[in-house]
Structure 1
């Protein structure tokens, strides 16, 4: 585990083989459960994995899933993802080929990414979007403020319950009014060239989700993400029946029975899984193949808490998949590039991986140990959003 000199809590798996100098690395990072994942690997998974044939990736993947009868939980998937990526890294090194070549070879030369723009005012958001456009990005996610921005009522404001919750509160009706105004402003100020994205973070009730999706139609969204939580997948059928706004979903999926119907019934337009949450490259390549068969595109999830090994793994799938739609960007300070040499770079809105065998990324263990994770960040307990009456807002 390493903090990489910042607020991160990364879990990087290193798999060593009986061949001198041959090893692979993978991402098992889960910022909310980092210590739990690390303990699962060290105490439970490592003894089960030790001594197995590293070439039998699929067999190891399924054996790990089924060994305790119950499967597809978040901690297991994160741990398995770290191993799986490391095994693909090893296989590429043995073959002398990048992982994207093992997956069938490149179908594109680089990976188009989308940037993240936000601000306290609509003009600040527009300036942020324009900044990404000036750097070569053609796709930008636009958010008003922080989590739930556009619908957050400041502490002490609004009609509060006496003696009850008095913190920042989410108002879904205010949100559904504010977000279309933001994108109207962006289109007027920036035109139609930029492809815009917005993340709802599963905050809305089904009725208000349908309303927002319809109101966003005039702004030609590239997609709206996580308008509803995975427990309400069936409502995406209703949304697709009444609106043309593209939908993206999958960031918090862990079980194939969550995403398979979304893809096969074509009720989403983009699959938004995180590779280190669903089981690694082995799972990701199967999701991409399913998407290709049903006309759905991939948009693998990243985010500020994720590590470069996961990003590299996602990019290798992106480079080799015809189902690719877009890749969420991630950027790190120079210290991280030194700690994890080979970290992909995004000089012009595209992610580039090197042509080294395997994932093309390594870890400087001596440097990583200089930045230990000594205690949970507080995010291991998660975070909550509440409405003005104190009730919990999903996810």
Structure 2
């Protein structure tokens, strides 16, 4: 199975996606997701100018060798652009191998370790009535676990509130339930940590009182707290039995999580912006986290993230793979195949894509009674309609950024 074509396809149905399409001399076609929210064209250039020419003539069956060739052979390693590009190649090669074998990818990874993948949705609102409505809507969609994000009194627009509309003109229009906004410049949001720390425990108290103790609840701090603030929040949320507190403090400073651990037993999920096993080395070895949050798309593909999760399994740390709508259906399918096969699966984030995206990416994975399954079609089980993709050219878009009341740029 010699690679004779590697095409990069950029499409923007409900949002921007980057897809690598590899074809072999035997006619097998594999696709991989290289989407990097707000920096998509950087990955396109890396794939088009540097990676695709290296693939031609290679044996598509040598997945590990090609992975090492692209990672070690470039000398410049790691980082989101490099690892998203490698992930796109890796997914496409697993897709091809599955099709050649006549098996879904999870079978090639050792078979299923469970019958389905528990998934959580995103419930949010600027007010408690909005949050309750959002939880009920997600329950009706079949979700049995819920991430709760709330507005904060006095703040106009903050991360995680799907219904908000910041006063920034046309660029404030959200698309596909994502905070990225189409426009020439990033939108500005506001932040006040002390107000947030006062308000969030009252939100979870109200949600628990309304929906009872059995519903698993999650929350994303999105890197906005110092270590001591994160410890304070984790401790204040203990009465509400969170499934996890996500990205409570910027984890590039991995030792900071020791302080958080000293003060709270709330489980911690970390790693949404991590790209390699090296980012996790200390916090897994010292058992400073409970869930690995990386996306297959941003962490070098199935091959590399499986190694991260195998390492985590030694310490009873589970998966919590990133699954927003800025991961394409191809990346979501890859996460499902990996999650179904590993023993230490925890939970899968699952935001449902819009109708236009689903028309571009035809999926065979299923969502039933709160559980996902990747399906049993050979390969990843997702096909790209190239003609449909061509109807939606790239549109410039950025994630927002935060400023404090005094004008200081803050972690978003």
Would you say same fold, with TM above 0.5? Answer: yes
Moved more, 252-261 or 21-30: 252-261
Residues 169-184 of structure 1 aligned to structure 2 (within 5 Å): 169-184=190-205
Q: Do the aligned partners of residues 168 and 65 (structure 1) sit closer, same or farther apart at CA in structure 2, a change above 3 Å counting? A: closer
| Corresponding residue of 1:163 | none
Match of 2:21 among 14, 17, 22: 14
Q: Does 1:217 align with 2:208?
A: no
Is 1:86 the counterpart of 2:106? The answer is: no
Match of 1:161 in 2: none
- Structure 2 match to 1:147: 158
Match for residue 13 of structure 2 among 5, 18, 21: 5
Q: Please, which of 283, 289, 294 is the counterpart of residue 273 of structure 1?
A: 294
Distance 2:324 2:375 in 1: 22
Answer yes or no: is the 8 Å Cα contact 1:130–1:190 preserved in 2: no
Q: Which has the higher strand share?
A: 2
Unaligned runs of 5+ residues in structure 1 are 156-166
Q: CA deviation at 1:389?
A: 1.4
How does 1:251-266 map onto structure 2 within 5 Å? 251-266=272-287
Pick which of 73-82 and 134-143 moved more. Answer: 134-143
Deviation larger for 343-352 or 30-39:
343-352
Task: Tell me the secondary structure at the aligned position of residue 78 of structure 2.
Answer: coil
Separation in 1, partners of 2:159, 2:360: 34
CA displacement at 1:4 relative to structure 2: 4.3
Aligned counterpart, 2:338 = 317
CA deviation after TM superposition for structure 1 residue 293, in Å: 1.5
2:252 partner SS: helix
8 Å CA contact retained: 1:72, 1:254: yes
CA distance in 1, matches of 2:244, 2:127: 22
1:366: how far off? 1.2
How big is the shift at 1:148? 4.2
Runs of 5+ consecutive residues of structure 2 not aligned to the other structure: 1-8, 152-156, 168-187
Alpha-carbon contact 1:224-1:246 (below 8 Å) kept: yes
Match of 2:33 in 1: 27
TM-score, L = length of structure 1: 0.91
Task: Show the counterpart of 1:384.
Answer: 401
| Aligned-pair CA distance for 1:343 | 4.9
Inter-CA distance 35–119: structure 2 relative to 1 (3 Å threshold): same
Q: Is the 8 A contact 2:83 2:275 kept in 1?
A: yes
Alpha-carbon distance in structure 2 between the residues aligned to 1:273 and 1:227: 15
Please say if residues 112 and 340 of structure 2, whose CA atoms lie closer than 8 Å, have aligned partners that are also in contact.
yes
C-alpha distance in 2, partners of 1:328/1:149? 14
